[in-house]
Amino acid sequence: MEGAPAGHFHTTTPLLESWALSREAGVKVLLKCDNMQPSGSFKIRGIGHFCQQMAKRGCKHLVCSSGGNAGIAAAYSARKLGIPATIVLPETTSLQVVTRLRGQGAEVQLAGKVWDDANLRAQELAKRDGWVNVPPFDHPLIWEGNASLVRELKATLGTPPGALVLAVGGGGLLAGVVAGLVEVGWQHVPIIAMETRGAHSFNAAVEAGKLVTLPDITRVLSEVVDDAEAVSAVQRFLDDERLLVEPACGAALASVYSGLLGSLQAEGRLGPLASVVVIVCGGNGINSGELQALKAKLGQS
């Protein structure tokens, strides 16, 4: 155990200009490489901040029901804080995931056949004295931690980009980026929020007019791409930048590779752009074999 350090757990990640993506988009594309975080994804920003705050409030044990980026961030944070972590996962979880979590020092419990079963077990454990359940995205402290990404952009760029592209899953990154833009006075910067079809809960909420939690002063364009476009973007990004990212991140990259940015401009939904920042959010949930399997399933050679 390492004990609790004074600083935050995330690192200031590189902001790199991509020649290949800039050529595709016809505008300067900057990559915010949060796949290079110590936990492998942006999640360490928000979850690290959440865990540090819980430790200050007397938390003695962290519990989480995610085997993905959130679980890895929780396990990493617990190790840095010097407190135990229990990650509860379904019995169907791959050995690779279990091994990685145990490598971070976490105890892994397998419970039930599906995630709901594991989550119920995690909630039961969190009732123990001093135990805290780590939410993957839905907590103000997590949004607060994720806002650090925008502060880094402000420190590096000085002036705002023309637009910011990110992938939307549970909404924790989006909420943090919105908060960060407001904090640094960049609330006029449009956000292009990308999802894959079939998992497009944010887009569905926008289309239904049910989304009421984002401030009126921010402009969010919600867009959806097919799985095939996301996976194709992952492969092209690997070829262009020698970086392997997961398909959720591929949804954000597809905004460039599919020509969506140009389409939004042609439709008048997006103005002239001097630069675009694409958040490269993570690469834990993929390896070369899984990418080839995804491509084969989608009929991509």
Report d(CA 88, CA 111) in Å as an integer: 7
Find the catalytic residue in 65, 66, 222, 258. Answer: 66
Distance CA 250, CA 248 (A): 5
Reply yes or no on whether 43 is catalytic: yes
* Cα separation, 272 vs 25, whole angstroms: 12
8 A C-beta contact, residue 59 and residue 50 = no
DSSP codes, the chain: -----SS-SS----EEEEHHHHHHHTSEEEEEEGGGSTTSBTHHHHHHHHHHHHHHTT--EEEE--SSHHHHHHHHHHHHHT--EEEEE-TT--HHHHHHHHHTT-EEEE-SSSHHHHHHHHHHHTTSTTEEE--SS-SHHHHHHHTHHHHHHHHHHSS--SEEEEE-SSSHHHHHHHHHHHHHT-TTS-EEEEEETTS-HHHHHHHTT----S-TTS-EEEEEE-HHHHHHHHHHHHHHHS----HHHHHHHHHHHTSHHHHHHHTTSS---SEEEEEE-B-TT--HHHHHHHHHHTT--
Active site residue 232: no
Catalytic residue among 18, 32, 43, 258: 43
Residue 259 CA to residue 284 CA, distance in Å, equals 26
Residue with tokens 């609330």: 187
Q: Catalytic residue positions?
A: 43, 66
